[in-house]
Amino acid sequence: MTVECIIEDDRWQAAGIETLATRATDATLAHLGLKPGDWDIALLACDDTRIAALNEGFRDKAQATNVLSWPSEERGSEAEGTPPEPPSGDPELGDVAIAFDTCAREAAEAGLSLEGHATHLIVHGTLHLLGYDHIRDGDGDLMESTEIAILADLGIGNPYGGHTVSRMTCDGKD
C-alpha cells in the first residue's frame, strides 16, 4: 500500500481524492527512485475547520492552511540545497492533511483545476515526509524544482507561474 485516505469531507470524495492521492504519492516516490508499494502514507482529506484545529494544535497557528505534514521521523538534509537521504527501514513515512476549502479557493484564485492543485499539494506534502523543506532558500529551490519535475511527469504544468504556494502558504514540516 502507498496511501491510505481518511475522508472527513465528502467534497473530497466527489473530487476523486483517493485516485489523486495515489497518483501523486506514487509519482513522487517513483521520481525519487523509491518503489511506491514499499512505503505507507496516511492522507486526511478534511475541511478548513479541521485543518485549522490541527494547525493550532501542532503549530500554534489558529488558522486554516492548505496542507500539513507529519513525517514519521526527521529526514532533512544538513547541507542546504541537497536532497535528503532516501528513507530506509520503517515503511511508514508519515501523515498528510489537505483542506478542501483552502485548496479550492487557491485553485480558483490561480486559475488552476482543483485536481491539479490538490495533486500539487499532495506532492508537496509527500516531499515534506521525505525530508524536503523550504526553510532555507537552497532547500526551497530544490523542493520547488522537484515538484515541477514530478508534476510535469503527471502532465501538470508548472504551478509557480506568478505565485509561490509552497513558500507563501504551506504549513508543512517547517
Distance of CA 97 to the CA centre of its chain: 8
Q: Is 31 annotated as a binding residue?
A: no
Is 128 marked within a binding site? yes
Query: Is 117 known as a binding-site position?
Result: no
Question: How crowded is residue 4: how many other Cβ atoms within 10 Å of its Cβ?
Answer: 13
Tell me the C-alpha distance between 115 and 23, whole Å.
Answer: 11
SS3 content of the chain, % helix, strand, coil (to 5): 50, 15, 40
Q: Which is nearest to 43 in space by CA: 14, 22, 74, 66?
A: 22
* Binding site per annotation, positions: 124, 128, 134
* Binding site per annotation, positions for Zn(2+): 124, 128, 134
